[in-house]
Amino acid sequence: MAKQISSSLTLFWRIAFPTIWVSFFSVFTLAVYLTDLPYYGGIPRSVMLISIPLFLIVGLVFFFTTILKIKRIDMDEEFIYATNYLKTYRYPWHNIKKIDIKERAVFSTGSIYLIKEGVSGKKIVFLLSKSRWRDLLAINAYKLEDYIK
């Protein structure tokens, strides 16, 4: 049975947050273009017509280069499963080069480096669940010590 090592917040950060953010700022951008007010909260219309779409585009680029790259990770004795919540890909343990963990105060992240390039490239990034990770290390599940560098 596969064990999840990524944080349960992965679903929120990968799906919910970008959807809500893009929806809000897309509607806000549309509202600015459809109304004919001289000022928006003290900001001139000409500034808003440039800054709001620019802010939306910068946000989209940020999401595509960072947040939308994180995956949910599950492991069992034979495979590591990486999902983007639309498709799940499995990678055999012999294709795993190393697992790099960066524990931080707020968000801990992990990176799985592959020997042979997969659908996501040679690196799979995920949000780490510290408690699940510690539990797996404590029992030396899947011989994780061999992959941690």
pLDDT digits (tens, 9 = 90+) for 47-66: 999 999 999 999 999 999 99
CA-CA-CA-CA torsion sign (78, 82, 88, 91) = negative
Let me know: does 148 contact 98? Beta carbons within 8 Å: yes
- One domain for residues 95 and 36: no
CATH code where residue 114 lies: 2.30.29.210
Among candidate residues 149, 5, 147, the one with its CA nearest the CA of residue 75: 5
Q: How far apart are CA 46 and CA 68, in angstroms?
A: 32
Whether 3 is covered by a domain: the verdict is no
What Rg do the C-alpha atoms of the chain give, in angstroms?
A: 20
- One domain for residues 87 and 59: no
Residue 99's DSSP bridge partners are 112, 148
Among 31, 48, 67, which residue terminates a domain? 67
Domain of 48 in residue numbering reads as: 8-67
Whether the pLDDT of residue 142 is over 90: the answer is no
Among candidate residues 118, 107, 122, the one with its CA nearest the CA of residue 67: 107
Whether 81 is covered by a domain: the verdict is yes
- One domain for residues 105 and 48: no
Confidence of residue 143 (pLDDT cuts 50, 70, 90): confident
- One domain for residues 88 and 36: no
Considering only the C-alpha atoms of the chain, give the largest distance between any 2 of them, rounded to a whole number of Å: 65
- One domain for residues 139 and 79: yes
Q: What is the pLDDT of residues 77-134, one digit of tens each?
A: 999 999 999 999 999 999 999 999 999 888 899 999 999 999 989 999 999 999 999 9
Question: At 80, which amino acid appears?
Answer: I
Q: How far apart are CA 116 and CA 58, in angstroms?
A: 32
- One domain for residues 82 and 140: yes
Q: Count structural domains, the chain.
A: 2
- One domain for residues 63 and 74: no
Q: What is the pLDDT of residues 5-28, one digit of tens each?
A: 999 999 999 999 999 999 999 999
Residue 1 has a pLDDT of: 87
127 class by beta-carbon count within 10 Å (0-12 exposed, 13-18 middle, 19+ buried): buried
Residue 112's DSSP bridge partners are 99, 124
- One domain for residues 56 and 85: no
- One domain for residues 138 and 106: yes
